[in-house]
Amino acid sequence: MINEIKDLEISELKDTKFIHPFKLSYKQNGRNKTWEAIRSHNSVAVLLYHTEKNAFLLVKQFRAPVFLNDSSKTFTYELCAGLVDKNKSLEEIVKEEIDEECGFKVSLSDIVKVTSFYTSVGISGACQYLFFAKIDDSMKIHDGGGINDEEIEVMYLPIEKSDEFIFDESKAKTPGLMFGFYWFLKNKDKLGIK
């Protein structure tokens, strides 16, 4: 559990691993313009619905940029997600992330693509691919929590609380999570969920 953040330091980026800052110069409608941006990886996210609990499985984790903007937000609520940084299909990356972050084994055929959209359009323009999968206790293989130095908590949000959760501004959450809830609630009948 994330309790406190200490020794926060801000320094200039030189050799970067995941993002690459740059300045873009261009001409638009005859006017010279510049824009500061970053190159970053695309990502996948998956809305996990636990059929026995009638709940979404979410992840909570510390996100330094969010904390830097608002120190009252010591963690964010998110969908299980990961970078597209491997030579694998999007579904294979989703399957790995579900295992690593949440501790469930989901077959590739049970991972359904919902849509894609662009995030951080003013700074990186990375694309996120949204998926959906159903899970149940028989698929649980470990407690989750991420790999290496990730510190991820998993939590269940009952479906009946999802609408309230979307509009609770005291909780830092991603637009992908909120859109995923909207998509689910709009498509419950098609998904065979009461």
- Give the C-alpha separation, 119 to 140, whole Å: 31
16-49 pLDDT tens trace: 777 788 888 888 888 888 888 888 899 999 999 9
pLDDT at 92 over 80: yes
Q: Which residue has the higher pLDDT, 6 or 26?
A: 26
169 is in an annotated binding site: no
pLDDT at 164 over 60: yes
DSSP 41-98: --EEEEEEEETTTTEEEEEEE--HHHHHH-TT---EEE-EEEE--SSS-HHHHHHHHI
Determine, yes or no, domain membership for 131: yes
CATH number at residue 89: 3.90.79.10
- Give the C-alpha separation, 106 to 114, whole Å: 16
State which H helix or E strand residue 179 sits in.
Answer: helix 175-187
Determine, yes or no, domain membership for 192: no
150 is in an annotated binding site: yes
Determine, yes or no, domain membership for 29: no
Average pLDDT value for residue range 89-106: 97
Determine, yes or no, domain membership for 35: no
104-157 pLDDT tens trace: 999 999 999 999 999 888 888 899 999 999 999 999 999 998 888 888 999 999
Q: Considering only CA atoms, which of 112, 116, 111, 114 is closest in space to residue 129? A: 116
55 is in an annotated binding site: no
Determine, yes or no, domain membership for 30: no
Range of the domain at 66: 40-187
45 is in an annotated binding site: no
CA atoms 102, 148, 61, 181: torsion sign:
negative
Q: Which residues pair with 86 in a beta bridge?
A: none
Average pLDDT value for residue range 78-90: 96
pLDDT at 80 over 60: yes
Could you give the number of structural domains in the chain? Answer: 1
CA atoms within 13 A on the CB side of 110: 14
pTM of the predicted model as reported, rounded to 2 decimal places: 0.89
Determine, yes or no, domain membership for 87: yes
Determine, yes or no, domain membership for 122: yes
Q: Considering only CA atoms, which of 150, 172, 148, 186 is closest in space to residue 47? A: 186
Determine, yes or no, domain membership for 73: yes
- For residue 146, give the 3-state DSSP assignment: coil
